[in-house]
Structures are given as C-alpha cells and as structure tokens.
Structure 1
Amino acid sequence: MTASDPKADLHLYLQSARDALLWKLEGLSEYDIRRPSTPTGTNLLGLVKHATGVELGYLGDTFGRPSGEPLPWLEDGAEPNADMWATADESREYIVERYHRAWAHADGTIDALALDSVGKVPWWPSGGDEVTLHHAVVRVIADTHRHAGHADIIRELKDGAVGMNKGKASLAPGDSAWWENHRSRLEQAAQEADRRATSDEIN
C-alpha cells in the first residue's frame, strides 16, 4: 500500500493546475495572450495575473506570511477587475515571474504549517474569516483548475491547440477530419433534441 501524504497530494494537484495555466501562453503573440476572448474580457495573461493574487492572498497573507509582492489591484481606489488583465506596461515575463514567486511563497506556507493551522482571510467578514490551511489549499486548487479550464477553451478558440498539459492531451485520438465529423454529429444531435423539445411543447 502507498503511504498517505495529504500535503503531497494537494501539492500535486495545485502544481498541475499552475503548469497547465502557464502552458496555455506558450507560442502565442503578445496580442493573443492579452486580447479579450469573452464579452467580460477573459484573457490568458489576465488569468495568470489573477491566480498570482489568489495564491499570495490565501496562502500568504491569510496565515500571517505577507510576500511583499506589489499587488496594485488590491490597493484603495484600484480599478475594478484590474487583476484580470495586463496593461501594455506589464510584460509577459514580469507577470510569469511574479506567478513563479507566488508559487514559491505559497509552497513555503504549505511546508511550514500543519494542515489544521488556522488563518484569517483579510477580505472576508469578521467573525467568518477563519480558515484552515487545508481548506485554503483546496480553495486555491479549485480556483486555479477552474481558470486553467477557461484557458483551455480560450486557447482552442485562438489556434486550435488543445490538451491538459504537455505530456497528456486527455482527448480521444483523431485527426482533424475525425474531430470535424464528431463536431457535426454533436450539432445534429443538438438540433434533433431541440426539435423534439419544441414538438413536445406544441403537443
């Protein structure tokens, strides 16, 4: 039997999400990593910027371990949603390097504290702001994987590149013709289901 190591398990899933998020930037132009891809402005580099703040907040400040990293989007008077996009003055290298530093700082918190250690989330209401390290790590994992999923879809829509990570696509095997046929079958099924639902409403 394999010995249980909860911290190692948590770190494995956190790191896989981190790596996936950054991988989606590779091979794209400055324009393509920054341009809005949804009506609410979701973009690849902005997701990385946001994830940085999440790690430093939940796995740093919450447990009395401020990183010292400047996070201007958290300052008084900051523009709403400023953590979700990169200005022209914020280079790709700067944002990625800061994310790497956030990893190191967060990992230091995980290594230093027991999972049942209690911290206080500074932006949660007083009286309901306590959280264990275990809870905080799970929360960061969930948030990072959620945004890695956003990045998956954005990247596929930009240039067709797909896959969970560099070594594992997690997709059915098939060439472009197979996938086009698959997509057509899904479209046909959707239209047929809609026709049946409309017919049932009429009858």
Structure 2
Amino acid sequence: MSEATGTVPLPQTRSTLRRLAGRLPTVIWLTLMWVILWGDPSPGTVIAGAAVGSMCYAVAKLPHIPVRLGFHPVYALKLAGFFLTELFVSSTRVAVHVLWRPRRMRGAIVAVPLRTDSDFLVAAVSAGLSLITGSLVIELNRDQGMVYVHGTPIDSEAAVDRLRRQVRRTEELIVRAFGTPADIAEFERDAAEQESAADGDTREEDR
C-alpha cells in the first residue's frame, strides 16, 4: 500500500483478480456437480452448492483452471429457450409413459460422439443433459471423445434418434453460447468431419 495515497498498487489488484478468475471455473464445476447429485436446480440448492464448492476449494487447495470462455447473447437466449422447451416436452413425455404406458417405460444407453474438446464446455454439456428429465450422462470417455447417455423412455429407433439429436443440439448451443472463437472453429471442423464420415457410411450401405 502506498503511504502517500493509501491505495493498493494496481499490479497487486490485478494479481488478486486473476487468482479469483482462476478459481471461478472450478467452483462453478463443483456447484454443477452438487446440483446434479441433488437433482434439484432450485436457487437454494445452487447457493448451497456454491458455498460447499468454495469451502472444498479452500480446504483441498484445488488447482486453477485457465479461463477460456466466450459469451454470445443470441445463442445464450437460444440455449435458454431450448432448455425450457426440452424440460417441458421431456417431463410431459415421461409422465405420459408412467401413467398410461408403464409397461413400455424402457430405457437405453446411447453413445454420442462429442465435437468439442474443451473441459469446461464438456462439463457444461454433461450437466445440462443430466438436468433434462429422461436423460442422464453416465460416462464421458475423453480418449474416444464419446458421451454415454441413458435415456428414457426409449422404445424405438426413432426414440434413439431423438435422444441423439437432443445431445448434439445441447452441445452445439453450449459451444456457440460460451465457447471461444477457437472452440467454435474446432467444433465446426469436427462436426463437418463427422458428417462426411456419416455420409460415406450411408453410401457404402446403399451399395
């Protein structure tokens, strides 16, 4: 602190802000895991998760995660609208099957290839999918770039395709809403490669 002015030197202030920014992603990730475990995204659960995450960080002295996030308001609004729609539709679908078609209430595990390699975005995709009624991420294979999602009700190939589209749309909106330009470019490149591979497989089957 300067004796003449009584102010904190600017470099020290910037260093403190940088340390706080480095801790924020870890605390957010711990909060998301807390909400998923409780299965209740209410404000009280989020506040409690943030408090527990901050305490765990302070006690365990967890490492900093570099902040690599962007923010695109248009896609953030699309993401919010998509989640609200999926929550309503999926909750209604599950309720209908439980009440009127209990014998057809079956589930299945569906593997979906990821198109992003960002740790934070992958964690956000996993958390988002697990908050939607009828879908739960049971495994993330980073080596193969694959997410395994348990969906219910799954009683046909159409239901499998619906779950796969839900996963891919969730991933796309999260990447485009919060990804950096590099994240988005990587996503688009991997998406194009996967589409080309899928088209090639389709042509082979037609032959």
* Structure with the larger helix share: 2
TM-score (norm 2): 0.30
TM-score (norm 1): 0.30
- Larger RCO: 1 or 2 (CA < 8 Å, sep 6+): 1
* Structure with the larger strand share: 2
